[in-house]
Amino acid sequence: MNRLAAIWRRIPAWATDLLAVAIAAVDATLTSVDEGVLGISTSALACAALLIRRRWPLIAFALTLPAALIANILAAPVIVLLALSSRSRRRWLLFLCGALFAAAEAVGWPLTSLLTTDQNWTAVTFVYQLATAAAPILLGQLTQAASDLRARIAEIEATKQHERELYAQSLLTQERNQLAREMHDVVSHQVSLISVQAGALQVTAADAEVRDAASSIRTMAATTLDELRSMVTLLRAAGTRSPGLAPQPTIADLTDLIAASGLPVTTMGELPRGIPSAAQRAVYRTVQEALTNVRKHAPGSAIRVRLWSDDRSYGVIVENSRPSEPPLDLPSARLGLLGLRERAELLGGTLVAAPSGDGYAVRLALPRSPA
């Protein structure tokens, strides 16, 4: 049944209109051939009225009544009653139209014949024709109820899908909050201890170089704590309307970043003005990650940070020479460059990290017209 209904819905409207007119024309030909010019004219008008039954079903029904009265045709009024019933929710109107159709079929033409015919037979005919009118009306109401039911089912499915999305979002929010708590409790504690011990070393050390190194460590620990708090706030605010975010780094912060690194860095070049804030953060994070990797894997090497741009793209290249000291044994999850590549791809650019000469180079390229 559902398959037949689906096939019927796929039939074009013009095809069903032509089929309805053809059925009504055959019925009119069989019943109105002996009714003269008046019967043929009203039958033709009733067949033509089928073409407007979708948009104006009540007017179409009114145009079929003369043919039902004069030529006693059935197909055209029944088809229009079906269209009217499937679109109207006024039960009284449907009952009235069914009664008018039954009366037109039962009375006949001319109206004076009502006085000479058997009144009982006319009443019986009216009842039979009323039952005939009830069939398309009930079928149209059933079609309307099925359409309402499909719409209600679709609405329920959409509501369930929305609830599932909300549930998944709540689980994701709980995981973010748990991750934020772990980051704050574990990493913040360790970095705070580093900062405290560096401060103590800065106060007690006799060597000036040691005090400067301790001061740099304490400054970097404080900066790390600030960024950690920003990340924790970002995790907690994700999925909500709460802004609660610290200002994000831009290209203007590169100078402070390089100075705070304490590495021998040479900078050159510049980027075009007015680049998006997301691109500025990508450049900043690329330089930050590259300097971190140089500190861990190539200590004592010379570093060059070059900002560049051309007609189609812009970006940054961070190069380092051969290290002069053994690499530091520090833990690494190897996710820094992966995150930078994903950030570049989201902006429509690329990030390449590969050996260059006797050292290593990280190259970020972003398009001037983002995808």
Q: Express each pLDDT in 24-75 by its tens digit.
A: 778 777 776 566 677 778 878 888 888 888 888 888 888 888 888 877 787 8
Report the alpha-carbon distance of residue 357 to residue 371 in Å, rounded: 33
Estimate the crossing angle of helix 91-107 against helix 57-70, to 10 degrees: 20
The answer to whether the CB of 325 falls within 8 A of the CB of 361 is: no
Give the domain CATH number at 275: 3.30.565.10
Count: domains in the chain: 2
Task: For residue 35, give the DSSP letter.
Answer: S
Going from the C-alpha of 337 to that of each of 323, 332, 334, the distances in angstroms are 20, 11, 7
User: What residues of the chain score a pLDDT lower than 50?
Assistant: 1, 242-245
In a domain, 53, yes or no: yes
Residue 198 counted as domain residue? no
pLDDT confidence of residue 235: 67
Q: Is residue 237 part of a domain?
A: no
Taking only the tens place, the pLDDT of each residue in 272-318 is 888 888 889 889 989 988 888 888 788 888 899 999 998 889 999 99
- Of 65, 99, 117, the residue that ends a domain is 117
Residue 136 lies in a domain: no
- pLDDT value at position 244? 45
Q: Give the structural domain span for 56.
A: 2-117
Residue 103: its pLDDT value, please?
Answer: 80
pLDDT of residue 293: 83
d(CA 223, CA 136): 79
Domain end among 76, 96, 117: 117
Look at residue 319 in the predicted model and tell me its pLDDT. Answer: 93
Tell whether omega for the bond before 110 is within 30 degrees of 0, i.e. cis: yes
Q: Identify the pLDDT of residue 363.
A: 93
